[in-house]
Amino acid sequence: MEATSSTISDFKTLARSISLVENEATGFESLLESLHPANIPVVGFTGPPGAGKSTLLNAVIAQLLSQDKKLGLILVDPSSPFNFGALLGDRLRMSAHFNNPNIFIRSLASRGSLGGLSDKIVEILEVMKSYPFDYLFIETVGVGQSEVEIAGLADTTVVVLVPEAGDSIQAMKAGVMEVADIFVVNKADRSDAETMANALLHQLHISGRDHIPVLKTIAVESQGVTELIEKFTTSVTTDAANRKVLLVAEKALRMIRNQKMKNFDRNLLRADLEKEIKQQGFNLYRFVKKYFD
């Protein structure tokens, strides 16, 4: 594979390029610097476990594939506690489409990231934008602050909820209310679906975000999927673009920090700390200050 190529024309090259970047293998920086990412719509799916994100995304993918669209998926899985690799949930979640020649699926391990997103996802998304996809999708593990972090990557963030969440809608994190471009109440055949949708609309009204759509879907029956696709192809707004700049700036700072910390010896720090912390009057600020220079 040519590490200096700026466009990617086949899935094998794409997969190798992603592995090169994810593992920081020799030549990965040259590859990243040579890319010319296209302006491909990126749609993020997030929400609590059990909301039916994967089922809904499956239904969306099936409809787009029937229109002969080329799709790229990044599925962020929990890390293995032993080797920090992805648990490869895509084999189960997307089994109906796995061998379709118009779809590329990549699992990424969250690797302990507090936001639920892999630290390498920014670079990997740029690599995938160098292939001629019609849409790119990101699905998170749906824990921690992943809903907020995904908004820094996606042009449209879809937050999937279920009717049973209605009682806790008042306590929903403000960040989630701010980053969602579309709310979906999935499993809308359940009795509390209308109540949940109304509660969301009320909260959006209070926060001055009446323009955010609240849709109801039944993913297992593909009900509401057409309406959802229509919304995420037209819902990119000015406030979403401004929000994305702020959140991507945070990602850029993280990349800069990681680069500067790349050669830092954590084991040496741990050994030094183990010795110093036993001293009477130990002060963490004084301890770390010697590392500032």
Strand order in the sheet with 103-109: 103-109, 71-77, 135-139, 42-46, 156-161, 182-185, 214-216
pLDDT tens readout for residues 263-290: 888 899 999 999 999 988 889 888 998 8
| Domains by residue range for the chain, with CATH | 1-34 (no CATH), 37-256 (3.40.50.300), 265-289 (no CATH)
167 touches 190 (CB < 8 A): no
In which residue are the tokens 């020649």 written? 101
Mean pLDDT along residues 133-158: 77
Compute the mean pLDDT over every residue in the chain, rounded to the nearest whole number.
Answer: 80
pLDDT of residue 144 exceeding 60, the answer is no
Higher-scoring residue by pLDDT: 36, 93: 36
Residue 141 DSSP one-character state: -
* 7 vs 56 pLDDT, higher one: 56
pLDDT in tens, 192-248: 899 889 988 988 888 888 888 999 999 999 999 999 999 987 755 556 667 667 767
Angle between the N-to-C axes of helices 53-66 and 225-232, in degrees from 0 to 180, rounded to the nearest 10:
80
What DSSP letter does each residue of 146-212 carry, written as one string? HHHHHTTT-SEEEEEE-GGGGGGGGG--HHHHHH-SEEEE-STTSTTHHHHHHHHHHHHHHTT-TTS
